Amino acid sequence: MNLQQTLANHIQNTLFELYNFSTKIDVNIIQKTKKEFEGDFTFVVFPYTKELGRPPELLAHEIGQQLVKNYPEFIDGFNVIKGFLNISLRDRVWFTEREVVETWHAAPLAEREIVETCFAASLLVEYSSPNTNKPLHLGHIRNNLLGNAIGNILEACGKKIVRVNLVNDRGIHICKSMWAWLKFGNNETPDSSGIKGDHLVGKYYVLFNKALKKEIAEWGSQGYSEEEAQKKSQILKEAQEMLQKWEENDPETRRIWAQMNNWVYAGFDKTYQRLGVRFDKIYYESETYLLGKEMVEEGLKTGAFYQKLDGSVWVDLSEEGLDEKLLLRTDGTSVYMTQDLGTAQQRYNDYQPQKMIYVVGNEQNYHFGVLKLILRKKLHKNFGDHIEHLSYGMVELPFGKMKSREGTVVDADDLMEAMFQEAKTTTEALGKFDFEEEEARKLYEMLGMGALKYFILKVDPKKNILFNPEESIDFNGNTAPFIQYTYARIKSLIRKAEEHKISYQDISFSNGFKLGKQEKELLKLLYDFESILSNAAETLNPALVANYTFELAKEFNRFYQETPIFKETIIQLRNLRLQIAENCAQTIKRAMKLFGIEVPEKM
């Protein structure tokens, strides 16, 4: 039972004892006292004044006095600000609270009481969802890190998670890369060129768009508009014909498609490994789009969809306040909506999840609104209500938006390597560096990847990010390196205690021993971890955990600077500070692990 629940029970008993008033106190109304007031938790009495016939301040005083009288081992004192009863707990309560003072690695978090406030059935989380015509880029990094962190946070709350990736391995964009490789490639392969497979295929996607841009410019010089030039483009027509051949299972088209996709998959795997993300199941649109087409055909039969004279299939959502949506093209080829219908159905068949969380950028808000409407209203699939779109903002760069077709993206691989080099340069500039070469390489990777992940995840998913590599690696700001350095500092303290054979696990509160302000603030912060984690799981917002971890690291550093540990002459106080330090380290490690960030034992 946590402190809020214990306090709620005590207040509930007190109301009955004083006024013969029986009610259940919701634990959620027991809030942390605001920093400008004295106290640990605040109970608002206004909702009870009318029924109990007492003015707010009098009621708060009566309840506070009775709490102190009945529960002296738990409650130290109180103060009243109008109708707000601010309650202070005994020092020993904070210290002996198991969920504060035990080291966080003693038991898996999923076994702790936090699971009671989290979800109770399985969830499916989709993230990454790359196209096989280009390498992963900076935008994919945010997507992968968000999905991975959300999966970790939900698992930490005791939830069974299925992590899935939907690979967009078919469509006109894939055929564009295939066309360019056939036209300009001269049988180039990753082995023959030494180019990573996803980068090689992305190179040909850019070449296609350069060729198309040139052809459209030639038509434009003859007086045609861009729209007219697009219709006349022979290059685009040949790519579209290739897509039709693919859907007709043309053997040669399928062979080239499989070959180039395999190059990309090998490249993706290396990127995922360095980024530290994983999946339980990978879906491929080439395998789910046929189910989507079957669902469209079924919708045609029931009248949910309709067919135009040109053979294309549409759904009319005007009654739902939207417009018409294309489901099958004139030539019978499918669109994204078609394959997303099939993918959703296949996932439900496979797992029957309570919820399907799609981690996809906010430019797809309309798409997911339409998907849910089609499933629920037109196809009468109840699992349409199970879909939740985690809509996140874009990652912006100082020089503007990224464009894959123009080759102006920031590749994930290049960025990760740049972060490694940034960490190396920054760390060596600080001096006092005595690591062996391999140790140093591991540290640079830990710092560089930590900086990248934390910078992305500390921002609310709904907000855009302006990514700044130099700012992310700063050892003095709200960054992973600052938090990692704090962890290493604490581990250094613990090693020093062990070298001096200091046993600090047993603490006694005899002889009037009291917590200092700094110690209590840290213990209260440690206690907050569970509620922060629970809130992050419920809101799908890893930034809550990130910024909590920064606050904990910042508070510990203030404590470290202002409060002596080894110079403290009161042994019990010294041991208490060491134990608090160790708990801070374990909480930092636990929190950072949720983001896939490692923390170094020394720096």
DSSP string across 362-416 = GGGHHHHHHHHHIIIIIS--GGGGGEEEEEEPPEEBTTB---GGGT---BHHHHH
**Per-residue model confidence (pLDDT) at position 162:** 96
- Evaluate whether 104 touches 590 at the Cβ level (below 8 Å): yes
Dihedral angle over CA of 361, 451, 581, 28, nearest 10: -10
- Evaluate whether 141 touches 166 at the Cβ level (below 8 Å): no
Of the candidates 267, 268, 276, the residue with the CA atom closest to the CA atom of residue 149: 276
Q: Is the dihedral of CA 107, 109, 114, 117 positive or negative?
A: negative
Q: What CATH architecture applies to the domain 451-593?
A: Orthogonal Bundle (1.10)
- Owner of token pair 């209590």: 520
CA separation for the pair 556, 57 (Å, rounded): 37
CATH number (3.30.1360.70, 3.40.50.1950, 3.30.1330.10, 1.10.357.10) of 3-89 reads 3.30.1360.70
CA separation for the pair 436, 464 (Å, rounded): 39
Counting as low any pLDDT under 50, the low residues of the chain are: 98-120, 400-407
- Evaluate whether 141 touches 456 at the Cβ level (below 8 Å): yes
- As annotated, the residues of the chain forming the CATH 1.10.730.10 domain(s) are 451-593
- As annotated, the residues of the chain forming the CATH 3.30.1360.70 domain(s) are 3-89
- Evaluate whether 142 touches 456 at the Cβ level (below 8 Å): yes
Greatest alpha-carbon pair distance for the chain in Å reads 96
**Per-residue model confidence (pLDDT) at position 278:** 94
**112's tokens:** 């702790």
**Per-residue model confidence (pLDDT) at position 103:** 38
CA separation for the pair 119, 502 (Å, rounded): 42
What pTM value is reported for the model? 0.88
CA separation for the pair 27, 117 (Å, rounded): 11
Gyration radius of the chain over CA positions:
30
**Per-residue model confidence (pLDDT) at position 101:** 42
Which residues does residue 31 pair with via DSSP β-bridges, in sequence order?
Answer: 42
Q: Which residues have CB under 8 Å from 141's CB, separation 6+?
A: 275, 395, 412, 415, 452, 456
**Per-residue model confidence (pLDDT) at position 184:** 96
End-to-end CA distance of the chain: 38
**Per-residue model confidence (pLDDT) at position 564:** 84
Cβ count near 402 (within 10 Å): 18
CA separation for the pair 508, 511 (Å, rounded): 9
Q: Could you give phi then psi for residue 245, rounded to 5 degrees?
A: -60, -40
Of the candidates 161, 143, 144, the residue with the CA atom closest to the CA atom of residue 152: 161
Q: Could you give phi then psi for residue 361, rounded to 5 degrees?
A: -60, 160
Of the candidates 549, 552, 519, the residue with the CA atom closest to the CA atom of residue 536: 549
One-character DSSP codes across 142-204:
HHHHHHHHHHHHHHHTT--EEEEEEEB--SHHHHHHHHHHHHH-TT--HHHH---HHHHHHHH
- Owner of token pair 């391995």: 169
- Evaluate whether 540 touches 119 at the Cβ level (below 8 Å): no
CA separation for the pair 323, 319 (Å, rounded): 9
